């Protein structure tokens, strides 16, 4: 027995070398697996258009980029939970109202009951967990489609939100901890340090993964390619932090969002739990027969969705410095689902990555922000956002058709 | 290869199974030895699927004896069957289209490195083992990192079969493995069945297609209306005879004693 597997043209791992990578990538593209390519191209197009058309190029000035980051954080966090639910092929219509309800519970506990900020935020997160357990229990125990369970939740939790707020109407947030969630910025060395950590993580993950494959005798991407990827991401990160630093700095809430995406992506792509989510979303019957605890996976995912919705709601409350009766019942639900879908998460389950949430919310929020700067009226904004969503799912559908027809 | 077994790997004697008033199986005999392919044929409603589900542990038997390597065993659930080393590849294959070949081969039994909640998938060792297994079985696929959705029907069937032998299973049940496959893909799967036999597995294949059956089977067991008709050496019967037994046009002929290809001695006796 040799310890290396020599390359065999019939039974393949990935092929070695640049040529192999190119052939593999081409094969994937041709088979309809476009990955993040369309959304990245879309972001470049959107930024180019708004950068050129907004008065004084205000879209790409540092102040607006800080605003954009702050706007992204709350709904982006909610969208991470939506991606989990979509990976299962389920849906959660309550993420908007749950974000409002958790923020309301946090606000009431903090301002009326005098609970300290961290404890109030913890309570809000617990509300999210409890709601997720209820959704998960109902869908798994009684076999009711999640669409219906969460439709009931959409109505019911809206009522709970109004109940919690009582006749107060609007609660203004003044607690230092709560306000600090969205009101903290990292300037100078601190901001660059955090960016460096992020890039370092990606570099180490890429290099270690490559070393491990080579040591195991498997073909791996050439080192130059890994480094190229790290350098491109590193330059983008450095440029972003440089621009943010020229104004208020790197927002803590953006760090929260990117951190959440990195950690959840690790869990989804590297652990057995993540693999189970994809299996249940791809073929629940096959997953069940393979011994995967399908119902427990579903329950856990509904808990995560509500938990991240609650967290996103509190980030929004922190940014807006207030919670009111319409918190969470605006664009939160539709934009978080749209973000996940635009980022490449399939509504039919089993396809997409956690990065979809980040890329998708970047698209949605960039369009919204850019159109605000161009002073587009609301009706036009809604129609454009709808068209972008439709374009994204159309690209996905066409790619799927390509995938089906290249099956050999 | 592995040592020749003097007794069949799996032997069923006098199996009865009924669902309410319907007697699905009545006094059915069946056996399979290491390194042979036994085909199970019969018209619709003959009891093939019921017998497969008995062997897979899904249907507990009403009466009869099941012997595993000569020792009586009871199969009260799919876990019992897989613990013994019996794997079933159902017609729907139970693959996740969205996952790649490696992930499907290891579905539900992923290899991890690290402890407890810090355990991460050991993709390198899984991919190595996937490549080794597929190479041993000469399964041709573009890459082990291809999602199942991009594979042909024959390749999917091959992946499902490869999964069943990845875990040291001794007996592999294949339910209609060539249904809905083209000519070239059917050949691919039948070649794979032969390689499983040559590797010392006992293979049980259910098929409606007698041409396929005659191509790979060493012995053919015929069921009709839930009853055992007989087991025949594939080399000594022809197509028409088997059809005759399946349809009842030929009355229950001499019930040939089931003999494994590896052994010449009859292994069944009249019930003791």
| Residue in A33, A280, A283 to test binding to B, most B beta-carbons within 10 Å | A283
Do the domain assignments include residue B132?
Answer: yes
pLDDT of B167: 82
Chain A's closest residue to B133, CA to CA, is A11
Asked if the Cβ–Cβ distance from A286 to B96 is below 8 Å, we say yes
Q: What is the pTM of this model?
A: 0.86
Asked if B118 has any chain A CB less than 8 Å from its own CB, the reply is: no
Asked if the Cβ–Cβ distance from A290 to B107 is below 8 Å, we say yes
| Chain A residues with a Cβ under 8 Å from any Cβ in chain B | 5, 8, 10-15, 24, 27, 31, 33, 212-213, 215-218, 270-272, 275, 278-279, 281-283, 285-287, 289-292, 349-351, 403-404, 406-408
Closest CA to A183 of A117, A234, A236: A117
Region A379-383: what's the mean pLDDT?
89
pLDDT band at residue B185 under the 50/70/90 scheme: confident
State the average pLDDT for chain A. 88
For A12, the closest of B143, B147, B151 (CB atoms) is: B143
Closest CA to B36 of B5, B81, B65: B5
Chain A's closest residue to B155, CA to CA, is A408
Asked if the Cβ–Cβ distance from A11 to B139 is below 8 Å, we say yes
Strands (E), chain B: 10-19, 22-32, 36-41, 63-68, 71-73, 86-89, 112-113, 120-121, 171-175, 202-206, 219-224, 227-233
Do the domain assignments include residue B5?
Answer: no
Radius of gyration in angstroms for the set of CA atoms belonging to chain B, rounded to a whole number: 19
Enter the DSSP assignment of A166.
T
Mind listing the pLDDT tens digit for each residue in B27-49?
A: 999 999 999 999 999 988 888 88
What domains are there in chain A, each with its CATH number?
A: 58-184+275-400 (1.10.3470)
pLDDT of A404: 56
Do the domain assignments include residue B257?
Answer: no
Do the domain assignments include residue B165?
Answer: yes
Radius of gyration in angstroms for the set of CA atoms belonging to chain A, rounded to a whole number: 22
For A272, the closest of B98, B110, B143 (CB atoms) is: B110
Asked if B58 has any chain A CB less than 8 Å from its own CB, the reply is: no
Q: Report angle CA A165, A170, A173 to the nearest 5 degrees.
A: 100
Do the domain assignments include residue B111?
Answer: yes
Do the domain assignments include residue B256?
Answer: no
| B144 neighbourhood in chain A, CB within 8 Å | 11-13
pLDDT of A18: 66
pLDDT band at residue A405 under the 50/70/90 scheme: low
Structure tokens at B258: 């089931």
Asked if the Cβ–Cβ distance from A27 to B142 is below 8 Å, we say yes
| B135 neighbourhood in chain A, CB within 8 Å | 8, 10-11
pLDDT of A403: 57
pLDDT of B271: 40
B202 phi, psi to nearest 5 deg: -90, 120
Asked if the Cβ–Cβ distance from B150 to A282 is below 8 Å, we say no
Do the domain assignments include residue B267?
Answer: no
What CATH number is given to the structural domain containing B83?
Answer: 3.40.50.300
The residue ranking higher by pLDDT, A59 or A401, is A59
Do the domain assignments include residue B271?
Answer: no
pLDDT over 60 at A1, yes or no: no
Asked if the Cβ–Cβ distance from B127 to A406 is below 8 Å, we say no
For A403, the closest of B96, B135, B149 (CB atoms) is: B149
| B124 neighbourhood in chain A, CB within 8 Å | 212-213, 215-216, 218
Range of the domain at B126: 10-217+225-247
- Our count of domains for chain B comes to 1
Distant-in-sequence, close-in-space partners of A158: CB < 8 Å, separation ≥ 6: A97, A100, A329
């Amino acid at each position: 027995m040799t310890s290396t597997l020599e390359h065999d043209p019939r039974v393949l791992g990935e092929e070695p070398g640049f040529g192999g990578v190119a052939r593999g990538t081409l094969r994937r593209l041709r088979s309809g697996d476009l990955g993040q390519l369309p959304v990245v191209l879309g972001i470049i197009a959107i930024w180019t258009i708004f950068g050129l058309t907004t008065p004084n190029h205000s879209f790409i000035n540092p102040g607006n980029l800080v605003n954009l980051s702050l706007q992204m954080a709350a709904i982006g966090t909610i969208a991470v939970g939506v991606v989990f639910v979509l990976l299962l092929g389920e849906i959660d219509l309550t993420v908007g109202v749950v974000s409002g309800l958790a923020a309301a519970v946090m606000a009431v506990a903090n301002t009326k009951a005098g609970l300290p900020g961290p404890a109030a935020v913890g309570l809000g997160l617990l509300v999210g967990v409890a709601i997720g357990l209820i959704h998960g229990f109902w869908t798994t125990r009684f076999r009711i489609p999640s669409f219906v369970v969460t439709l009931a939740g959409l109505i019911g939790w809206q009522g709970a939100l109004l109940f919690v707020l009582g006749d107060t109407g609007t609660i203004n947030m003044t607690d230092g901890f709560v306000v600090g969630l969205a009101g903290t910025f990292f300037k100078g060395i601190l901001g660059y340090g955090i960016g460096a950590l992020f890039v370092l993580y990606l570099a180490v993950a890429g290099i270690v993964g490559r070393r491990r494959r080579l040591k195991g005798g498997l073909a791996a991407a050439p080192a130059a390619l890994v480094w190229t990827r790290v350098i491109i991401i590193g330059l983008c990160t450095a440029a972003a932090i440089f621009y943010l630093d020229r104004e208020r700095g790197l927002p803590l809430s953006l760090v929260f969002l990117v951190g959440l995406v990195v950690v959840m992506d690790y869990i989804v792509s590297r652990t057995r739990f993540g693999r189970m989510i994809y299996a249940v979303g791809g073929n629940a019957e096959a997953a069940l027969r393979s011994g995967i605890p399908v119902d427990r996976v579903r329950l856990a995912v509904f808990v995560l969705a509500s938990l991240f919705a609650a967290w996103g709601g509190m980030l929004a409350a922190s940014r807006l410095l207030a919670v009111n009766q319409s918190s969470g019942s605006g664009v939160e639900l539709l934009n978080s689902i749209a973000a996940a879908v635009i980022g490449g998460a399939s509504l039919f389950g089993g396809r997409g990555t956690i990065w979809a949430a980040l890329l998708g919310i970047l698209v949605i929020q960039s369009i919204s922000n850019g159109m605000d700067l161009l002073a587009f009226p609301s009706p036009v904004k809604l129609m454009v956002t709808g068209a972008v969503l439709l374009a994204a799912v159309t690209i996905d559908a066409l790619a799927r058709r390509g995938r089906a027809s290249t099956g050999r | 290869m592995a040592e020749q077994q003097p007794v069949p790997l799996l032997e069923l004697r006098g199996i009865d199974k009924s669902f309410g008033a319907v007697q699905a199986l009545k006094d059915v005999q069946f056996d399979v030895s290491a390194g042979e392919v036994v085909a199970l044929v019969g018209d619709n409603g003959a009891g093939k699927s019921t017998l497969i589900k008995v062997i897979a542990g899904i249907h507990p038997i009403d009466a009869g004896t099941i012997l595993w390597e000569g020792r009586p065993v009871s199969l009260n659930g799919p876990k019992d069957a897989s613990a013994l080393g019996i794997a079933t590849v159902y017609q729907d294959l139970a693959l996740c289209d969205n996952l790649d070949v490696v992930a499907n081969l290891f579905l539900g039994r992923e290899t991890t490195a690290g402890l407890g909640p810090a355990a991460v998938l050991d993709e390198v060792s899984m991919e190595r083992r996937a490549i080794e297994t597929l190479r041993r079985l000469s399964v041709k696929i573009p890459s082990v990192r291809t999602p199942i959705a991009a594979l042909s029907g024959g390749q999917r069937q091959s992946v499902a079969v490869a999964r069943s032998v990845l875990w040291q299973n001794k007996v592999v049940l294949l339910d209609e493995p060539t249904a809905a496959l083209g000519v070239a893909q059917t050949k691919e799967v039948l070649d794979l069945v032969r390689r499983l036999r040559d590797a010392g597995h006992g293979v049980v294949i259910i098929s409606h297609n007698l041409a396929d059956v005659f191509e790979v089977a060493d012995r053919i067991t015929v069921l009709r209306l839930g009853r055992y008709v007989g087991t025949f050496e594939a080399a000594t019967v022809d197509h028409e005879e088997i059809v005759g037994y399946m349809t009842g046009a030929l009355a229950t002929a001499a019930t040939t004693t089931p003999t494994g290809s590896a052994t010449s001695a009859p292994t069944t006796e009249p019930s003791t």
